[in-house]
Chain A
């Protein structure tokens, strides 16, 4: 039971990171109907920028960890958001009214560009950092000496995710921008006729998605203590799996899917085998889609002739 509880904590933390990335996929899919294959690499870029900012701040002599974290969070969100904006501007906007596959291939190309760009710019080797947030709490100690631990990093990851989700939900449901986004999602032409700047709204969607991916990158860096140029691919596929599992286009679905994938992966590694954890996640995706072709919370697609 204790082992189970510990894995539950680990799975939820991992799931939060996946969920943050999955929101970017699902938002873009909802509004422009394309799979943004480069999103996983945007997450990786976010991780790199966080790492570099850390290094600079530490070498400048800053020691207060909360201040460092806040600055790193803001810098990596800002720069990564600009990456998201630029990618949309260069690779997707010219293809908006093209046929379905064109933006997706462009996105795959963009993903290759970003992966290789960071490999060339920062080298192929894994970049480790010393743990910044240490310590934690012992929640429960059983008779045979098994300890359930909740580390401070895990708390930071979960709290950041919850706070960001709250801000994000508020943004989508209460602000002008959120209303514009939902309007564009339903009908871009109609939204444009009613005075919504469609181009700007779509750009903002990419910006917000990239900013959330940057947060995920920072959380990944804090939790695992390393980044490398290839991490975007696997994390991206899993987050996309999470988005599809939750029902693509649905925001709570993305978070739910993220948590589900995180839990599946953690429990599979804990009880069965570490090697096959990704196989398990993908297999469950396939099984879920057989019975619920639109995911857990997705709206059924209306067939129009």
Chain B
């Protein structure tokens, strides 16, 4: 854990072996103390409520040995590769290659995504996974408006997802309204809650904002759990109607879409429909965001992110700018929530924990805060990776947490680091001092 010398010659490398062993030994010792009680001893409450414990020194020994071996390997790698930043790992030639690919990556990905249901028509698992990924892409793009564009740190984004899901769930189950009426309503309600959250946090900055949004997310979740008459409490809302193809149900009945088109019914139709539905919603989010970025409001968001004081000095109304950012982000969260409810057919407070907020925020930050393509790729990586480790069960979140830490250390600016303002002056303008005196500068 000590800093290695920057230039290691061959001679010093061999001389470093005692140092190497010493570092590894110290690390192993630290690991021994850290894990001695937590892993070496296992406690469990017996049937009579009495705690018993047994030892697991074998596990402890293997973990300490792994730390010893691991720190030797890491130290060796560090000496061979040398001190590296992210820039050094990627040579400029490769970087220009990446930017070249970048131009064609987005259209290629879009075409591939459109073709996913055709290619994987018979693989239900892949279709379900693709729907899940697209849901998170949409959530990421929605949160990107708040965090990536306006620079407002929101740790309670899941609240709007919950509002959208419960709006649709409750309206559909109690009044029997169709998905297509409820979808805009869910978005409007979520946007309304976004404004409601926006008001108290207008004067807050940075970390105060983070805790208030986190508290807001928890308040919404706790109210959902406790207001049992309305929301069903921890039992959730079940029997939420499936979406219809603009009024035509996608089922095996005589009125169903399959019967009307005269083709044989298959349950995959609904999955494919859901896939295109979420793809359309996600692309809508993307399109609206890209358009908004070119409008004065989008410019104001980016200006707000870069410098709030300068923003106010230039006469931008920060109140409306912040509120619209919250409302827009929340609205997309609400749409995604309504989609989630109709896809699952069942919602409960368990789906709207802080973990979800953290996951979406991680997607936005890893995606490079403001880069639309980056967010999509980050969502694909995170959710796909999450699925890959499904067999690990309990270890999955452990691996996920470690990955978050490691990615932050490796590329703190995100996988695709990019946060440049959309517009900037290309030419530095010389301003003479007398202009400044008159206030034109």
Contact = CB atoms under 8 A, between A and B. Distances in A.
Q: Do A and B bind each other?
A: yes
Interface of A: 29, 35, 45, 48-49, 51-53, 55-56, 59, 79, 82-83, 86, 89-91, 94-95, 98-106, 108-123, 125-129, 233, 237, 240-241, 244, 248, 275-276, 278-279, 282-283, 285-287, 289-290, 293-295, 301, 303-305
A113 B226 contact: no
Given A102-B412, A241-B211, 6 more contacts: A82-B34, A91-B408, A118-B38, A120-B398, A127-B44, A285-B215
- Of A55, A79, A109, A293, the most chain B CB neighbours within 10 A belong to A109
A126 B45 contact: yes
Contact of B203 (A126, A248, A283, A293): A293
A241 B43 CA distance: 32
B207 A111 contact: no
A123 B44 contact: yes
Given A105-B408, A120-B394, A112 B401 contact: yes
Contacts of A106: 404-405, 408-409
Contact of A95 (B1, B30, B408): B408
Contacts of B358: 108, 112
Contacts of B222: 275-276, 278-279
A279 B223 contact: yes
A52 B40 CA distance: 10
What are the 4 A-B residue pairs with the smallest beta carbon separation, nearest first? A109-B404, A112-B401, A113-B401, A102-B412
Contact of B404 (A86, A112, A303): A112
Nearest to A286: B200
Contact of A82 (B30, B216, B362, B401): B30
A4 B81 CA distance: 66
B212 interface: yes
Given A35-B207, A123-B42, A289 B53 contact: no
B259 interface: no
Nearest to A114: B401
A303 B33 contact: no
Contacts of B356: none
A304 B310 CA distance: 10
Contacts of A294: 208
14 contacts: A52-B43, A55-B51, A95-B408, A102-B408, A111-B401, A114-B401, A116-B401, A123-B43, A126-B45, A127-B51, A241-B215, A276-B226, A293-B208, A305-B309
B262 interface: no
Nearest to B366: A105
B38 A49 contact: yes
Given A105-B362, A279-B223, A79 B34 contact: yes
A115 B397 contact: yes
A91 B153 CA distance: 21
B400 A237 contact: no
B41 interface: yes
Contacts of A285: 211-212, 215
Interface in B180-209: 200-201, 203-208
Contacts of B34: 79, 82-83, 86
B338 interface: no
Nearest to B354: A233
Interface of B: 1, 30, 33-34, 36-39, 41-45, 49, 51, 53, 153, 200-201, 203-208, 210-212, 214-216, 218-219, 222-223, 225-226, 307, 309-310, 313, 354-355, 358, 361-362, 365, 369, 394-395, 397-398, 400-405, 408-409, 412-413
Nearest to A108: B358
A276 B222 CA distance: 7
A286 B203 CA distance: 12
Contact of B398 (A35, A101, A112, A122): A112
A293 B205 CA distance: 9
A237 B214 contact: yes
A109 B211 contact: no
A45 B215 contact: no
Contacts of A276: 222-223, 226
Contact of B37 (A53, A100, A240, A304): A53
Given A129-B51, A285-B212, A248 B409 contact: no
A127 B412 CA distance: 38
Given A52-B38, A79-B37, A105 B211 contact: no
Contact of B1 (A89, A109, A237, A283): A89
A121 B218 CA distance: 28
B162 to A, nearest CB: 14
Nearest to A275: B226
A116 B395 contact: yes
A102 B368 CA distance: 11
Contacts of A101: 153, 365, 369
B39 A121 contact: yes
B16 to A, nearest CB: 21
Nearest to B207: A35
Contact of A283 (B41, B219, B397, B404): B219
B412 A95 contact: yes
Given A129-B51, A286-B212, A109 B204 contact: no
A52 B43 CA distance: 7
Contact of B41 (A52, A83, A237, A248): A52
Contacts of A283: 219
Contacts of A287: 200
Contact of A125 (B44, B309, B355): B44
A289 B212 contact: yes
Contacts of B214: 237
A278 B218 contact: yes
Contacts of B216: 282, 286
Contacts of A303: 309
A285 B219 CA distance: 11
Given A116-B398, A128-B51, A35 B212 contact: no
Contacts of B43: 51-52, 55, 122-123, 127
A95 B207 CA distance: 17
Nearest to A55: B53
Contacts of B36: 79
Contacts of B369: 101
Contacts of B313: 305
A294 B206 CA distance: 11
A99 B205 contact: no
Contacts of B412: 95, 98-99, 102
B51 A95 contact: no
Nearest to B39: A121
A136 to B, nearest CB: 23
Contacts of A53: 37
A99 B413 contact: yes
A46 B290 CA distance: 48
